[in-house]
Amino acid sequence: MNFLRNLLAAIIGSLMAFGIVFFMFIIFVSLVSSAEEGVVISDNSILELQIQQPINDYVGTDDADPFAGFFGQVKGLDEIVHAIQVAKNDNDIEGISINNSFMMAGLAQTQAIRKALADFKEGGKFIYAYADYYMQKDYYLSSVADSVFLNPVGGMDFKGLSTEVLFYKDLQEKTGVKMEVIRHGKYKSAVEPFLANEMSDANRTQIKELLGSIWNTIVTDISESRSISEQDLNVIADTLGGRSPKYAKASGLIDDLLFYDQYEAKLRQATALDPSDDINYVTLSEYTRRSNRKSIHKGKDKIAVVFAQGEILYGEGNRNIIGQGIITKAIIKARDDENVKAIVLRVNSPGGSALTSDIIWREVEIAKEKKPVVVSMGNVAASGGYYIAAGADKIFAEPTTITGSIGVFGTIPNIKGLSDNIGINAEQVGTNKNSVEYSVFEPMSDTFRSVIQESIEEIYETFLDRVAQGRNITIAQADSLAQGRVWSGVDAKKIGLVDELGNLDDAIAAAADLAGTENYSIIKFPKYKTGLEKFMEDLGGVKSKIGQGFIKEEIGEETYDILKQVKSAMKQKGIQARMPFVLDIK
């Protein structure tokens, strides 16, 4: 009896303690939310632009969610661009200070922010930039500023773009863990890392041309902002003419070498402050609480923007994964809303499941029967990412977007070599000739390979048909643009895979024009979990994340990235329409 009584008392005590903690938690969050809503932005303020966390195109929590700001300060690209647009006409904001190093955003995202900053300058307000160290992406963003400053003992990186592709053939032979690869016959660069030890000439050529096209866009933009010829910028890159602060200044990449206190003196002069006055900085997180409540577009008519970001996997999907569940629901909701006059599908994806891609493609086709559908491409819209975009009435890409990669393949893990080495023998039993379809412990049979090959060819032909229909070309023409070739946004426009070069705002304007509406507001889909829901969900993964962080620290970031790529390949299920390799452009 004493045991039961003590157990009951312990349970009741734990529940009461949990209730008290939860009640205090709610009060605390309410106070924080109230404080956040009460943030005052004084006049003569400077918006400080620092983007040092990975950003999604869209975060997707409801503006009314009181926990959104408390549980995560990461902003979506849409919020960042919108904040700059609002600041342009905000009398309390005198200018912008870019103080950013090691920017964790894609090139197309960086270009979109840069374009918003260029538009901000046209309103007559200043932009200054400062860094202790400029990586190339940081400098590309900062070069739009009126004046660019660098720490006298800092540094910068300006040498042209590069990328690295990892190859796993020898690793497979040494470990006995092999990826069985089935691909369309002409899809030459597909899954090359699992079949060879080095890059093929064809693959090297296409990647070099892709990097060259993107670099040309960057150089053109910097040339216009800094009044340095494109030829001179390439000479600077070739000779490492910005490798030290004094060289960076001499070459014209930056305006002056200043310590941070000297930079702040410049900001005080720009805002007519006395040397002893404090600068009224406003962080991006603070300012978005104001800008998110201000609309650029207003009207009863609506343009729906559906954000599809991440790998394409079969299932519901979430903020970082495109699943047919969450995306098709969003498209259907926008399609059936009488106030929505057009849909913009924002795609930022390297592709993934061919089946899921086709399911989403079909919903786009149905939506087109009722209202215009325009696609806006982000950092990457390749393979499955292009698949879901192909049927749109109009496709926009950023000049630095990576797109194309039209092709399909399948990879299936096989551990026959490993199992033999460690003494494992697997025996299969089945009722029919093909009931034991495949085992990772046995070599792939010719019959099974031919069945998969047949499916690969059928899906590839279907993919080509979707592209041909959407782009109004023949199957043969679609095939000539396919075969896994990747293109920059600039080159994709030249060959007809996209219609226009432009950002999300350009795509929205085009959708409104197709719908015949001038006064419209913007509604965004899908809505993800609230800050509290996401926080509670993430609690379950804290141990895993801590473990991942420990492994990454111990083995190094590059080795950890290799493990991630191998793990991703091992997890792929079904026939894939995705980028065949990871391109981390530096």
DSSP string of 162-228, one letter each residue:
-------HHHHHHHS-EEEEEE-TT-TTTTGGGT-SS--HHHHHHHHHHHHHHHHHHHHHHHHHHT-
Q: Please enumerate in sequence order all residues whose Cβ is within 8 A of that of 258, keeping only pairs 6 or more positions apart, or say none.
A: 130, 149, 150, 151, 152, 266
Q: Rounding to the nearest 10 degrees, give the CA dihedral for residues 236, 237, 239, 243.
A: 90
pLDDT at position 574, please?
Answer: 62
- Dump strand ranges (E) for 423-552: 486-488, 500-501, 520-525
3 state SS of 126: strand
Residue 436 has a pLDDT of 81
Read off the tokens for 48. Answer: 């400080």
For the domain spanning 45-159+240-291, the CATH number is 3.90.226.10
Within 10 Å of residue 350's Cβ, how many Cβ atoms?
Answer: 23
Fold match, 45-159+240-291 / 301-407+447-578:
yes
Q: Any bridge partners for residue 127, and if so which?
A: 96
The answer to whether residue 188 is catalytic is yes
Look at residues 78, 19, 74, 72 and name the one whose alpha carbon lies nearest to residue 532: 72
Out of 383, 405, 419, 488, the active site residue is 383
Q: What is the dihedral of CA 139, 101, 130, 234, to 10 degrees?
A: -20
Instruction: Give the pLDDT score at 181.
Output: 85
Please tell me the distance from the alpha carbon of residue 9 to that of residue 12, in angstroms, as a whole number. Answer: 5
Q: Where are the domains of the chain?
A: 1-38, 45-159+240-291, 301-407+447-578
147 is catalytic: no
pLDDT at res. 543: 46
* 536 C-beta neighbours (distance < 10 Å), count: 12
For residue 23, the surrounding DSSP H or E stretch is helix 2-37
Distance CA 392, CA 514 (A): 12
Picking from 301, 430, 318, the residue whose alpha carbon sits closest to that of residue 60 is 318
**77: three-class secondary structure by DSSP:** helix
Catalytic member of 121, 159, 169, 188: 188
Take residue 186 and report the two structure tokens written for it.
Answer: 């002409």
- Is residue 470 helix, strand or coil? helix
- Residue carrying the six token digits 């939310």: 33
Residues 286, 48: Cα–Cα separation, whole Å: 10
Nearest CA-CA partner of 92 in 47, 156, 30, 144: 47
Q: What angle do CA 493, 495, 496 make, to 5 degrees?
A: 65
Strand spans (E) along 418-509: 486-488, 500-501
Helix axes 77-88, 504-515, angle to 10 degrees: 80
Which parts of the chain register pLDDT below 70? 1-39, 61-74, 185-190, 529-574, 580-582
Distance CA 373, CA 122 (A): 31
- The pLDDT, as a whole number, for residue 248 is 97
CATH class of 301-407+447-578: alpha beta
Query: Which residues neighbour 17 within 8 Å (Cβ) at sequence distance 6 or greater?
Result: none
